[in-house]
Structure 1
């Protein structure tokens, strides 16, 4: 962008200094049509991508940003040019734009919805996957594992496409819904829930299990978003409790964790990492050849006294970005096993908000690699053991299939499915179909982002 702005200034000086000679043709060409404010924002979005995008060299010279409705369209439009060695199809599925007012709420962990996740356990069994405590659903007492029988009077009896479309619209695009739930004890309840604004609470549960001669620390972390000071305090409290209990092993549940702030992922990694890796490389963040000065290497700075040799991570298709990075960066330093119903999202790259008018644009701008320079997991991490999400059990139930398989591995050394298997179906919370303010796969931050933004915009 620096080069583009400099060229514009030089052209302006040249035009202003030109004088018409007397006696020459005085015909003045008509001025170019005025550029609308909306087109200026789209043009600027593309100029930013030509500086910051990881695959900027592959954007065609004749790419026209004005063919799109807004900056989000421009960012989506550059995705097909993200060709990566070893992959047949473009790898970028994330570059996007969003109004600043919406992003400010999302990045701070403030949502405006019902506060529940949903998933078909089997073809005719729709379950609640999680509930945000401060949301309308949380205040109504709804719990994970409750079965949804009816929505707005319609029976939910089959997972065909019309039913899925109806459910998605009713849960994620409505301001309120009347829902009939069946509880685990077989009783039913009718509740009306409404979309409200609330502060997310990503750390859902932390506890310790004494079983099979092991003391197993278990934590459920649904994102790396929210107030960073609050989250860091929660990590400190959790690992102080783990240390006091003398845990021998650790299970980290990120099955619904779509990512968030790398700074929070770093904080958690520093509590998890074994003492022997203190001071060693955690990860490297690498930008394109224009922004190489912002590359950085982060090393471990051990926190707390928990020192376990292995960790089991519970994953799913919803595991993305910073939570995938945690898997990747820990593997060279300790034994990491994964359990889940399917591969993770496959997002080894990051971006940061760049202001354009009243929008932010997020062109994918960096990649994260671990100390072994591994970081091309665009196809996601495949579970070491495929186990369905135990949607018929509440958080922390040792009979819940994924948790049971993790505990079984820690106790016996064997990874096998434990508890009830359920049908492996695509999550209704399909991030690519939902608007950005409904997604949880979001941003990766960096301590240098303000500097990078300044370098791009100046």
Structure 2
């Protein structure tokens, strides 16, 4: 068997007989592995492996049936091809959340795929990562929305990109792309996708407050990502101040990003009493960056107290998930992690709650906040939701929801992703099983259906982030000032709002990325190198 980290070109070899011997001892007591498994070929072995790994490491594994009852062989076609995506999907739909009566991984946006778990071959991964490090807005750092099925607007622009440096910003209406006047249709959508995902150059004509502006960009390999889209300080009644920042993604700390410390430090120096954190398009990311953000906002008395805990299933916690010993730990640089000359595996990790508890380490930022107001949407997920959850036991939290007007409900909820994982290699596949859930200091973390907003308003792409009149910001200021019922400049969601949809230039959802581990001997290992 080959464990292939195709993204980095590294390969690790494990003998097939070793894999089989582990599989034969990895099942639950009532799992019967046929003797002929060794003679069924690679597809049969892979089909069994997908289920047997889930049987051990899946967060809700106790609800899974036996190998015999599940019958992985049914996912191999008459031509001998394994339908690995369907197999993982079916596994994900077997475990039921008693609170909702639906599968934990029921995906109301795309019912045909799991809400959390995922599986990719090397080819799948390459196609998913063609957009490079951005993974959220195509090759040029620009996200688009279509309003009323007729107007095309800039939704946001990545800070640090050529587009941002040239002055392209949220709120601009696009009138032409590569010489083609905007005409919303299926063929025009196709042209947009090709231009943004495959093109080597991009020409835009935009309207900015009745002023026509033209831009031309040449594609470069993405080597930028600054997640703060906008920051500003705004006055509140009685002479108070609120700090505002729009934060797009919890980035990999290897990118030496310092703006978060600078912005929060500026808030502290200017004596802000409240902070508005705009997470409306934040799909998650790196836990190390999340921890840093939480430490900058939490009050000083929380220093040394619990921030969050990771909880695994009982088999993993007790060290009996034997298949994890087949999985070499690969750091963010794509190389295996060694200890005393030996490549360590996920079987060497301590998964007890005690060793997977993170405590606050308050060393800067703002220590005396009156409260934090989060602006969220249905795209707010994973580490972004976890930031809210981690701060709830220690700060007064307000939540404003924004929507493009396409939701039937008048109450916006976040995506609902309290689970995390790390990639496991099965043959040429990378499998992301839901493996652990995060809870806060109060033991809360079951927001599988999302975190609901107190006030929901229309997300108007004609307003830039942090500008007065933008409804999410106005609602947040109203809640902070105690004027939540009047909200003169905001409107609740309703049928009279103009609906819009984001163009799916790249739809990758960001997972909760585990950034450090503790071995059974107590050694702490960082995966962020």
Q: State the TM-score bracket (shorter-chain normalisation).
A: 0.7 to 0.9
1:196-345 maps to which residues of 2 (within 5 A)? 196-198=220-222, 199-212=224-237, 213-228=239-254, 230-231=256-257, 233-293=258-318, 294=351, 295=353, 296-306=356-366, 307-341=368-402, 342-345=412-415
Map of 1:56 onto structure 2 = 61
1:96 offset after TM fit, Å?
Answer: 0.7
Range with greater deviation from structure 2 (202-211 or 148-157): 148-157
How many angstroms apart in 1 are the aligned matches of 2:191 and 2:501? 12
Q: Secondary structure at the match of 2:516?
A: coil
Alignment equivalent of 1:401, drawn from 459, 467, 471: 471
Alignment equivalent of 2:211, drawn from 187, 200, 206: 187
Contact 1:177–1:194 (8 Å) recurs in 2: yes
Range with greater deviation from structure 2 (272-281 or 204-213): 204-213
**Alignment deviations for residues 100-159 of structure 1 (CA, whole Å, 9 cap, x no partner):** 66499699945462322223444533321111244464465421111234556364458x
Contact 1:405–1:418 (8 Å) recurs in 2: no
Map of 1:26 onto structure 2 = none
How many angstroms apart in 1 are the aligned matches of 2:507 and 2:168? 20
Range with greater deviation from structure 2 (248-257 or 186-195): 186-195
Alignment equivalent of 1:35, drawn from 23, 33, 41: 41
RMSD: 3.7
Contact 2:370–2:395 (8 Å) recurs in 1: yes
1:89-238 maps to which residues of 2 (within 5 A)? 89-92=102-105, 93-99=115-121, 102=126, 109-111=133-135, 113-135=139-161, 137-138=163-164, 141-150=167-176, 153=180, 155-156=182-183, 162=186, 166=190, 169-170=193-194, 174-175=198-199, 181-189=205-213, 196-198=220-222, 199-212=224-237, 213-228=239-254, 230-231=256-257, 233-238=258-263
1:321 offset after TM fit, Å?
Answer: 0.5
1:268 offset after TM fit, Å?
Answer: 0.8
Contact 1:108–1:226 (8 Å) recurs in 2: no
1:406-421 maps to which residues of 2 (within 5 A)? 406-414=476-484, 417=487, 419=489
Map of 2:524 onto structure 1 = none
Map of 1:20 onto structure 2 = none
How many angstroms apart in 1 are the aligned matches of 2:151 and 2:55? 47
Q: Secondary structure at the match of 1:258?
A: coil
Range with greater deviation from structure 2 (90-99 or 172-181): 172-181
Map of 2:454 onto structure 1 = 384
1:399 offset after TM fit, Å?
Answer: 2.2
Range with greater deviation from structure 2 (106-115 or 384-393): 106-115
Q: Secondary structure at the match of 1:204?
A: strand
1:186 offset after TM fit, Å?
Answer: 1.7
**1:136–1:449 CA distance, 2 compared to 1 (3 A):** farther
Ranges in structure 1 where 5+ consecutive residues have no aligned partner:
11-29, 452-458
Q: Secondary structure at the match of 1:320?
A: coil
How many angstroms apart in 2 are the aligned matches of 1:245 and 1:225? 26
**1:96–1:138 CA distance, 2 compared to 1 (3 A):** same
Contact 1:151–1:170 (8 Å) recurs in 2: no
Number of aligned residues: 422
1:423 matched to 2:497 = yes
1:190 offset after TM fit, Å?
Answer: 5.6
1:385 offset after TM fit, Å?
Answer: 0.8
Map of 1:456 onto structure 2 = none
How many angstroms apart in 2 are the aligned matches of 1:415 and 1:378? 29
**1:31–1:142 CA distance, 2 compared to 1 (3 A):** closer
How many angstroms apart in 2 are the aligned matches of 1:103 and 1:278? 43
Ranges in structure 2 where 5+ consecutive residues have no aligned partner:
1-17, 27-35, 106-114, 319-350, 403-411, 521-529
